[in-house]
Amino acid sequence: MSNGVEKTQPATRRAFLGAAAMTAASYQRILGANDRVGIGLIGYGLIGKQHIGDLKKFKDVDILGVCDCYKPRVEEALAFIGDKRTVGYSDFRKMYENKNIQGVIIATPDHWHALLTIMACAAGKDVYVEKPMTLFIDEGKWMIQAARKYNRIVVVGTQRRQGTGVKEAKKLIQSGLLGKIHSIRMGFYRNIYPGFGKTPVENPPADFNYDMWLGPAPKKPYQRHRGIYHFRWFWDYSGGQMTNLGAHLIDQILWIMEAKGPTLAMSTGGRYALEDDG
């Protein structure tokens, strides 16, 4: 599998998951080489669905649980998985009690990443958590402490470093052929004009557990844009495209340069044209 990843051009989640599965020693500690791995997913949105589609391609993986605080998404996930053994959950704590689930994939909005990872480690689960690892530095430290305390494998979904081009760039720079690197510029360009507008404060849908969705975030009145993809434009849940796409770029730079981390960070920006929620 690792050789297959090396030869694959796209930096896909499937390739990254495959590489992680082959290198993780955690399952070997628990299971025999011929046993199956039980996986649970938290957060069945755009990325969660991609993960399920990828996991279904592994013959030795059983998707035993899927959790979401929006009931229609749980039902959609169960239909997509198509396995009668899969249990749908509205509360991740119930899923963590399932001893047959050895690992969990966390594909929730960003503000839940830290707490879900820490609690999964405490429950004896290995973790694949989507990027960004978390929104706050202290939370990241707590996640590392939990992984070490409970002897768990925790993988963060910065899978773009698996791309062939990125690997070749690292080899080239580390070879010294380009001399000393003084500056690196990377960026994403996305045009969201004309924007997505504003939504009124209203009652959440009856089949949506908004309190669970908020979790550790400040309690705010419900608006439709506070869920689904547009949560990224609210500081309570995300850091916008910097924690969405920027997480990939920063990871690539640090990995290519073999740097431990930045010593100084600066930002500039604003809302100059659109008046949207967030």
Which of the two residues, 195 and 210, has the higher pLDDT score?
210
Q: 3-state class of 97 per DSSP?
A: coil
Residue 71 to residue 65: CA distance in whole angstroms: 14
How high does pLDDT run on average in the chain?
87
Q: What percentage of residues in the chain have a pLDDT greater than 90?
A: 65
The string of pLDDT tens digits covering residues 61-80 is: 999 999 999 999 999 999 99
Instruction: Answer yes or no: are the C-beta atoms of 223 and 200 closer than 8 Å.
Output: yes
Output phi, psi for 162, to 5 deg. Answer: -80, -10
The string of pLDDT tens digits covering residues 115-147 is: 999 999 999 999 999 999 999 999 999 999 999
Instruction: Answer yes or no: are the C-beta atoms of 201 and 221 closer than 8 Å.
Output: yes
Which of the two residues, 94 and 183, has the higher pLDDT score?
94
Reply yes or no on whether the pLDDT at 219 is more than 60.
yes
Helices and strands: H and E segment counts in the chain: 12, 6
Among 231, 229, 246, 235, CA closest to 189: 246
CATH assignment, 2-161 = 3.40.50.720
Q: Would you list the domain boundaries of the chain?
A: 2-161, 179-257
Instruction: Answer yes or no: are the C-beta atoms of 167 and 157 closer than 8 Å.
Output: no
CA distances from 247 to 28, 58, 156 (A): 30, 27, 11
Among 99, 46, 39, CA closest to 66: 39
Res 267: pLDDT: 85
Res 160: pLDDT: 83
Reply yes or no on whether the pLDDT at 27 is more than 50.
no
Among 144, 136, 156, CA closest to 254: 156
Low-confidence winner among 101-115, 130-144, 199-213, 255-269 (lowest mean pLDDT): 255-269
pTM: 0.85
Residue 160 to residue 199: CA distance in whole angstroms: 34
Res 22: pLDDT: 44
